Amino acid sequence: QQQVKQSPQSLIVQKGGISIINCAYENTAFDYFPWYQQFPGKGPALLIAIRPDVSEKKEGRFTISFNKSAKQFSLHIMDSQPGDSATYFCAASRGGGYQKVTFGIGTKLQVIP
């Protein structure tokens, strides 16, 4: 059972454009939604995260939009740069002592000059 559905699986964006990655979840017990960035040969690194009590969170060029009623959240990368080319994973977890993170399938982003 795929608890976090992510799309698209691959994305090509021109430099300076906006990259948008969408995720949907099923488990209403999830209360923490991080995004991870992974470069080839490296481990995932936390990029930005949001809790369901806010609808948007922005850090630099990265913005998470969260729609609790629709159980959807998305990552927007403004002014996309070639250095942003990586695989992005949305994820979800629930509190209660520790975080067993459920990952989406990943989106391979390529930003072309």
Write out the two tokens for 2.
């795929």
Under the rule (CB under 8 A), what is the footprint of other proteins? 6, 32, 34, 36, 41-46, 49, 89, 93, 95, 97-106
In whole angstroms, how close is the CB of 75 to other proteins at the nearest point?
15
In whole angstroms, how close is the CB of 69 to other proteins at the nearest point?
23
* Phi, psi angle pair for 90, to nearest 5°: -85, 160
Looking at beta carbons only, is 20 or 49 nearer to other proteins?
Answer: 49
Tell which residue, 81, 29, 12, 100, has the closest CA to residue 21.
Answer: 12
Looking at beta carbons only, is 43 or 113 nearer to other proteins?
Answer: 43
What does the angle CA 48 – CA 52 – CA 58 come to, to the nearest 5 degrees?
35
Q: How far is 35 from 39, CA to CA, in rounded Å?
A: 14
Looking at beta carbons only, is 18 or 45 nearer to other proteins?
Answer: 45
In whole angstroms, how close is the CB of 104 to other proteins at the nearest point?
6
Write out the two tokens for 31.
């209360």
